[in-house]
Structure 1
Amino acid sequence: MAIGACIDDIHLKARTRGVLLVAVCNDGNKMIYPLAFGFANPECTESWTWFLKKLYKLIQYPDCVLLVSDQHNGIFSVMEVIFLDAAHGICAYHLA
């Protein structure tokens, strides 16, 4: 059984001015639930490396994963290195 996860970031406007890195999935009832999240300052390759390494440890069978993102350079370059056997997809909204 494959797991599909969407990963992205949200820029925080508060005093910290960091980013919230998130990974979300759908459950059996098509409801969205958070799989993992982390705070970083700022969005960069090092932040995504840290986050995706933690996500990799969380997922028991990383070869059965489909990761969907907006293919930001920071996300995509790190995703290819850490999730070698996972399928990678692009968000249809960002593709359009």
Structure 2
Amino acid sequence: MHRSFDEGYRLLPQYCEQVNRTNPGSIASVYGNPIDNCFQRLFISFQASIYGFLNGCRLLLGLVRTYLKSKYLGTLLLATGFDGDGALFSLAFGVVNEENDENWLWFLSELHDLLEINTENMPPRLTILSDRQKGIVDGVEAYFPTAFHGICMRHLSESFQKEFSNMTLVNLLWEAAHALTEIEFEAKTLEIEEISQDAAYWIR
């Protein structure tokens, strides 16, 4: 807040050491580019967040990103749980130089290690929600093979609308997503198929 951005980046290793020392059980690591040692990645999960997620949250994780607006830009990656009231509960965050498949794979690897260290067995019922970024899809398959990977309906709906630009189809897609049984889902999918076989194939 009171110094230069450059000084802030230089202090990150010291900050991570302090987090690990004063918050036992926390995970805080900063990584530099091996060529010039410039900032590349940061991963932080506080012990209270880890304990709270494993002992008070549903086994559901949302993976999201947001772009940073500071001088050096970058991307904030987040793993967010949901408590018993459905409120967001932050488990871990990472800061990376850019959003790409390699950085998502790294983040999911760190997340896997965090959960493995703090549980006897990786929760087999874990559900992960995200968009369809290739790095996330590959990372979930590699590091959470027993998890169910659901795609965020907002992202799915946006992709579907770009592909077919038909609001009737988009509305039917949402109705299919809200179906409570497989029979109801199939009925909505058949309605979509009557309008566009390509759209039904895209959904399936």
The answer to whether the aligner puts 1:44 opposite 2:100 as a matched pair is yes
Residue 75 in structure 1 maps to residue 136 in structure 2: yes
**Equivalent pair of 2:101/2:133 in contact (CA under 8 Å):** no
Higher relative contact order (CA 8 A, sep 6+): 1
Q: How far did 1:62 drift?
A: 3.8
In the alignment, does 2:66 pair up with 1:17? no
Deviations 1:36-70 (A, max 9, x none): 10100111222112211111122232422100001
Distance 1:29 1:82 in 2: 28
Ranges in structure 1 where 5+ consecutive residues have no aligned partner: none
1:35 counterpart (75, 91, 103) = 91
Which one has a larger percent helix, Structure 1 or Structure 2?
A: 2
5+ residue gaps, structure 2, are 1-57, 158-204
The residue identity in structure 2 corresponding to 1:79 is: V
Percent sequence identity over matched residues? 37
Q: 2: CA distance between counterparts of 1:45 and 1:7?
A: 13
Distance (whole Å) between structure 1 residues aligned to residue 138 and residue 106 of structure 2: 13
Q: How many residues align?
A: 96
Contact 1:11 1:17 (8 Å CA) reproduced: yes
CA distance in 1, matches of 2:130, 2:114: 18
**1:60-92 deviations in whole A, cap 9, x for unaligned?**
324221000011122112221111111100001
Q: TM (normalized to structure 2)? A: 0.44
Letter in 1 for 2:103: S
Higher alpha-carbon Rg: 2
SS in 1 for 2:111: helix
RMSD of Structure 2 on Structure 1 (CA): 1.7
TM-score, length of structure 1 as denominator length: 0.88
